[in-house]
Amino acid sequence: MQLKDLDVIITAPPAPGWGGRYWILVKVTTACGIIGWGECYASSVGPTAMRAVIEDVFARHMAGENPENIEMMFRRAYSAGFTQRPDLTVMGAFSGLEIACWDILGKARERPVYALLGGVMNARVRAYTYLYPLPHHDLGAFWSSPELAAESALDAVNRGYTAVKFDPAGPYTRRGGHMPAMSDISQSVAFCKAIREAVGDRADLLFGTHGQFTTAGAIRLGQALEPYSPLWYEEPIPPDNVAEMAKVAGAVRIPIATGERLTTKAEFAPILRSGAATILQPALGRAGGIWEMKKVAAMAEVYNAQMAPHLYAGPVEWAANIHLAVSIPNLLMAETIETPFHDQLIKGSIRVEGGFIAAPTAPGLGIDVDEALARAHPYTGDGLHLEMREEPCDYVNGNNFEGGAPAPRE
């Protein structure tokens, strides 16, 4: 087999846009006609520029290669241009292409991808969901309402979920870490209290942040949340300062989770060595791909740490996450986004049932991509997949962080 052709499809999920403004799907075809699908997670450049990067990485390091030679192709991309260090954009491009290679290999051997990674360790993958507004909720009010969040949490638990994530702690800005407003701490406590009262011990609380606090601010907030026993405190400070995150981990009695913005074992290893986090959250469309994160999972075993693959993208990355999750012993859970568009794009080929995802049985990633649907929703905007806001934390009027689905503006 040889990798021959590449097509990049940039599709935009319909409003309210849960999963980001656009998803970058890659379709790789071998010389013998086998098609593999992958997904490149958000990058720091726009989709037009990212398309060019993906095409360059494929042409330079992968075209004409046997898709089995994933290690070799990874080393080419990782070392390109005399780097041999993590490059978020190049690795974002390679990750999606690498996922497509695994899809090809599974289809060629008529086996699911996890069967090529060591087989089944987890016949079911525990899923968790972010709290999203219910149909009768006001989109603008939802993100700062503990009562509405509690309703959404109870709905999720009644559908079988055993863990729910929410992030009411104010804005993440381009300015780096800030000290949370006292009102943000109070609101975060109110969210935890209301959700805990609604779901009791039927579900774990996953407290999300986006690296927006100083070390001292993260400690103040985390200690205020301790009475409600969240399962994790996600990325409380910017992800580039491992030593400071370790200080938060040592001062707060909530497990620290991180990894959404990290790429390759070179960035995950210091987290494990320092004790900065005990839960790793790689996004497989950015972190280096399935094989690289299989290595990180093995490293995490040595430190008694667990894996919880992250998802703020489309269902192709989700499928890759599931195959990794099925194959590793130190799985905690995997993030899920349930929208009609996610489901339709892979024709319902992976589903959450009773809060768990069964190990797929079809060859490759086990998904059937609706290519026509993906092409029918092109991205026409000029924003990035996710963006940080310009304005600083508001210590006077409070903050209303609307997550990944901001209410429409007139």
What is the domain-level CATH number for residue 356?
Answer: 3.20.20.120
Task: Specify the pLDDT at position 410.
Answer: 41
- pLDDT tens digits, the chain, 410 residues: what are they? 999 999 999 999 998 889 999 999 999 999 999 999 999 997 799 999 999 999 999 999 999 999 999 999 999 999 999 999 999 999 999 999 999 999 999 999 999 999 999 999 999 999 999 999 999 999 889 999 999 999 999 999 999 999 999 999 988 888 889 999 999 999 999 999 999 999 999 999 999 999 999 999 999 999 999 999 999 999 999 999 999 999 999 999 999 999 999 999 999 999 999 999 999 999 999 999 999 999 999 999 999 999 999 999 999 999 999 999 999 999 999 999 999 999 999 999 999 999 999 999 999 999 999 999 999 999 999 889 988 888 999 999 998 877 654 555 44
Alpha-carbon distance values, 108 to 126, 346, 349, 350 (Å) = 29, 20, 19, 20
Domain annotation covers residue 76: no
- Rounded to two decimals, the pTM is 0.97
Tokens of 105: 């290999």
Instruction: Give the range of the structural domain holding residue 355, as residue numbers without chain letter.
Output: 115-364
Q: Hey, is 130 helix, strand or coil?
A: strand
Domain annotation covers residue 340: yes
- Measured in degrees and rounded to the nearest 5, phi and psi for residue 83 equal -105, -70
Domain annotation covers residue 356: yes
For the chain, what's the residue count?
A: 410
Task: Specify the pLDDT at position 11.
Answer: 97
Alpha-carbon distance values, 337 to 195, 350, 355, 383, 393 (Å) = 19, 12, 12, 21, 28
Q: For residue 226, which of 207, 211, 213 has the smallest C-alpha distance? A: 207
Q: How many domains does the chain have?
A: 1
Tokens of 91: 């690795």
How crowded is residue 43: how many other Cβ atoms within 10 Å of its Cβ?
A: 22
Q: Hey, is 40 helix, strand or coil?
A: strand
Domain annotation covers residue 217: yes
Task: Specify the pLDDT at position 16.
Answer: 82
Task: Specify the pLDDT at position 409.
Answer: 47
Domain annotation covers residue 154: yes
Task: Specify the pLDDT at position 64.
Answer: 98
Task: Specify the pLDDT at position 46.
Answer: 94
Whether the bond between 16 and the residue before it is cis, its omega within 30 degrees of 0, is yes
Beta pairing partners, 165: 130, 206
HSE-CB at 375 with a 13 A cutoff on CA atoms is 8
Say which residue the tokens 């989770």 belong to: 257
Domain annotation covers residue 6: no
CA distance 155 to 350: 21
Tokens of 227: 């009475």
Domain annotation covers residue 119: yes
Domain annotation covers residue 33: no
Residue 361 C-alpha from the chain's centroid? 23
Say which residue the tokens 């499928």 belong to: 319
CA distance 376 to 59: 27
Tokens of 236: 């409380």
Q: Are 245 and 276 in contact (CB under 8 A)?
A: yes
CA distance 355 to 268: 28
